[in-house]
Amino acid sequence: MPFDSRSGHPERRRGVASRGKRRTPRTEAPAPVASLPRRNGDVAKAGKSGVREMFESICVAVILAFFVRTFVVQAFKIPSGSMEPNLLIGDHLLVNKFVSAPTLTTIEDTLLPIQTIQRGDVIVFKHPRMPDRDLIKRTIGLPGETIELRERRLYVNGKLLDEPYAHFLLNATDVPATDVRRNFGPVTVPPGHYFMMGDNRDNSEDSRYWGFLPREHVKGKALFLYISFGEGPGSIANVRWARILRQIH
C-alpha cells in the first residue's frame, strides 16, 4: 500500500469515500423550455372556425329538412269529417310526396320511388279554387274516364264501381233527386286532371262541387297515421292509441 511521505500513513485514494461504495453521478435537471406567447389572432381564428362549423351544420340541417319536406314526406292533420269513418278529425298522417315529384328523365323514373296516381288512392292536394287550403280526398276518376253517379251508385265508363269505403249519413230518399249527392254527371275527366270524392259522401266538398283536380295541385299520397287525438274506442288521455301507425287505404 502506498504511503504518504508527509504523514507516514498509508495514502488513501482520492475520490473514493469507502471501499465497496460508489458515488452516483449527479444528473442535471433539464432546462425549462420557454413557451411561445400565444397571439390574439390565433384565438380569434379558432373562434371563427368553431362559429363557421356550427353555421355550416345548421345550413345542412335546414337544407335536408327542406328537401325531406318538399320531396319525400310531409305531415298533415285531418280538419273535417269528409273522409269519415276511415279518417277522423284529429288524425295526423304522413304523406308521400314522391307521387307528385316532377321528373325530367327516364333515369329519375327508374331510380326514384316515383308513383303514379291510381284509382282509390287517398291524395292530399291544394283546393283548385283556394290554393292556400289543403284537402284530402279519394281518387275516383282518372284522365279520360267518364264518371256518373246514379242513385248514389258510382259508375266509371258505364261500369258499377265497388266502393267498400263509401259511407252515407242519410237515406237515399232523404236526398232530392236533383242533388249532386244522389245523381251527378256523366262527365269526362280531361287530360292531366282527376275526379276526387270524399268517403263520407253526404258530407264532402269534392269534385261534384268544384270540378276536376289539376295534376299540379297534388301534394302527395297519404301513407299512414302517426298519431290521432280525440275521443273514441281505445282512447286514453285523448289519444286514440289503436289508430297509431295505421296504414291508409
Give per-residue pLDDT as tens, 25-51. 565 555 554 555 555 555 555 555 776
Residue 59 has φ and ψ, to the nearest 5°, of -60, -45
Q: pTM for this one?
A: 0.68
User: How far is 94 from 77, CA to CA, in rounded Å?
Assistant: 9
DSSP secondary structure code for residue 173 in this structure: G
pLDDT over threshold 90, residue 148: yes
Q: Which residue has the higher pLDDT, 1 or 16?
A: 1
pLDDT in tens, 115-131: 789 999 999 999 999 99
Q: Where are the domains of the chain?
A: 74-243
Percent of the chain with pLDDT over 90: 56
- At 71 the pLDDT is 47
Residue type, position 216, single letter: E
> Is residue 190 classed as helix, strand or coil in its secondary structure?
coil
Please check whether residue 76 is in contact with residue 136, taking contact to mean a CB–CB distance below 8 angstroms: yes
C-beta of residue 122 within 8 angstroms of C-beta of residue 78: no
pLDDT of residue 29: 54
Q: Does domain 74-243 have CATH number 2.10.109.10?
A: yes
Name the residues annotated as catalytic.
Answer: 82, 137
* pLDDT tens-place string over residues 159-190: 999 999 999 999 888 999 999 999 999 999 99
> How many whole angstroms separate alpha carbon 184 and alpha carbon 154?
9
DSSP character string of 78-121: --SSTTTTTS-TTEEEEEEGGGG---SSHHHHHHS------TT-
List Cβ neighbours of 214 (8 Å cut-off, separation of 6 or more): 128, 192, 193
